[in-house]
Amino acid sequence: MNPKYEKAKQILNKYNQQHVLKFYDNLDNSKKEELLNQIFNIDFEQIKTLYENINKIEHKQNEISPIEYTDKSKMTQREKENYLEKGSNIIKQNKYAVVTMAGGQGTRLGHSGPKGTFMLGINPDKSLFEIFCDKLKEIKNKYNVVVPWYLMTSRENNEETVAFFEKNNYFNYPKEAVKFFIQDEIPMIDMQGKVIFTENGLIKQAANGHGGVFESMFKSGVVDDIKKKNIEWIFIGPVDNPLVQMTDELMLGLAIEKNAMAVGKSIVKLNPEEKVGVFCKKNNNPSVVEYTEITKEMSEMRDDNGELLYGESHINCNLFNIKAIEKIGNEKLPYHTAFKKATYINENGEIVKSQEPNCYKFETFIFDSFEKLKNMQILRGVREEEFAPVKNKEGLDSPETARKLYKAYYNC
């Protein structure tokens, strides 16, 4: 018998996942090899622990307190000039790069390709990727500097993403400045803790959340590339907000002025009920508290000016010093569990489709890295200038609302 197969069998026996090889004989040789490699690369111990912990309530009591922030709109002229000068110098010295996190599945949007290929419906029409690229081209014209652009994709959408850039000639941005890297995946499991399958007989895995960006930057050589280029500051932002400021000199200047390792961009929470995570201090370290974690009483607390004490929404626009990325990349971020609706093949080889959530997906979140950073600054931006999320097919945070916000901001 094939020794690789025997070794895989042992691993599966240990973790009670014997069903994984049930249909092995039906696979062609290359799929057989792929399946065995999947088995060797998956951390089944981790999957077992994650499953066992799904229904455990964490008793760790975190001490939550408000976090200080700098309000962009309240900066004095002198502060602005100082930050602008410091920030623009970094760009001019080629010490700045951008990472766009484009590895998400975009299930809520329901677009058939990678989210960045979504056409926003502006005139002339552009994809989200092109909209971002335009911003980098603007910087190129302004400073005569080509900002390196790294795009995090997933195994699922990488090929299509690269093909989209190729087809569009990298939107006339220097091709050598654009690099793609694939984020890690983690298996999805059913309600009994069994790994599930895709229709081609392989283990169904999903991207491991936007917190996976740090580890993937290391593994893929992006960190090495950044260091080789002497880049010091890296903006890491989402693909699903056409108002993301890819380059914010004030943010960079603030980081330098305050000797910070990172800066998180916030916008004011609309009302205490809005379902967003907000910046805070957790056990005295910078963090984000999710709306599910915060009590009603805390979410309604206001300061002397009548502003919400926990009102700085995290919009996933994050600036990191390379030292911060090196620090975070060496530590593991915790996994969070999401109960999701998925179509898959079960252990009996039957196709399972459901209108209700039917399996577990595990994800890490970028903001879980913040507490590892002692000096992190929060910069409050203006909602209309920074935030037009494209999350849902329709209604709130949909292409329609994002398009309106984009058009209003760019007056187009």
Asked if 101 touches ligand UTP (CB under 6 A), the answer is: yes
Min dist CB 241 to ligand UTP, Å, is: 8
**DSSP helix, strand, coil percent of the chain (3-state; round to 5):** 40, 20, 40
Span interacting with ligand UTP, options 14-22, 204-212, 281-289, 370-378, rule CB under 6 A? 204-212
Asked if 386 touches ligand UTP (CB under 6 A), the answer is: no
Min dist CB 103 to ligand UTP, Å, is: 3
- Cα-based angle 103, 92, 96 (whole degrees, multiple of 5): 25
Asked if 106 touches ligand UTP (CB under 6 A), the answer is: yes
Asked if 87 touches ligand UTP (CB under 6 A), the answer is: no
**Of the two residues 183 and 318, which places its CB atom closer to ligand UTP in the complex?**
183
In whole angstroms, give the CA distance from residue 302 to residue 320: 30
Min dist CB 302 to ligand UTP, Å, is: 29
Span interacting with ligand UTP, options 30-38, 138-146, 208-216, 320-328, rule CB under 6 A? 208-216
**Of the two residues 83 and 362, which places its CB atom closer to ligand UTP in the complex?**
362
By beta carbon distance, the residue nearest ligand UTP is 104
Torsion of CA 80, 82, 86, 92, to 10 degrees: 70
Asked if 107 touches ligand UTP (CB under 6 A), the answer is: yes
Asked if 103 touches ligand UTP (CB under 6 A), the answer is: yes
List the structure tokens of 81: 């000039």
User: Which residue matches tokens 């690269």?
Assistant: 162
Asked if 187 touches ligand UTP (CB under 6 A), the answer is: no
What residues between 233 and 292 interact with ligand UTP by CB under 6 A? 238-240
| Distances 95 to 81, 182, 235 between C-alpha atoms, Å | 20, 24, 11
* 117 touches 67 (CB < 8 A): no
In whole angstroms, give the CA distance from residue 386 to residue 405: 10
Helix or strand run (H / E) with residue 139: helix 128-143
Q: What is the DSSP string of 6-24?
A: HHHHHHHHHTT-GGGGTTG
| Distances 99 to 223, 285, 319, 349, 370 between C-alpha atoms, Å | 11, 25, 10, 39, 17
Min dist CB 271 to ligand UTP, Å, is: 21
Among residues 62, 89, 94, 105, the one that binds ligand UTP under rule CB under 6 A: 105
List the structure tokens of 274: 């809005």
Min dist CB 154 to ligand UTP, Å, is: 6
What residues between 113 and 132 interact with ligand UTP by CB under 6 A? 115
Among residues 152, 178, 262, 308, the one that binds ligand UTP under rule CB under 6 A: 152
> Total binding residues for ligand UTP by CB under 6 A?
21
Nearest by Cα to 207 from 301, 115, 86: 115
Site for ligand UTP, rule CB under 6 A? 101-108, 115, 152, 183, 207-210, 212, 238-240, 316, 391
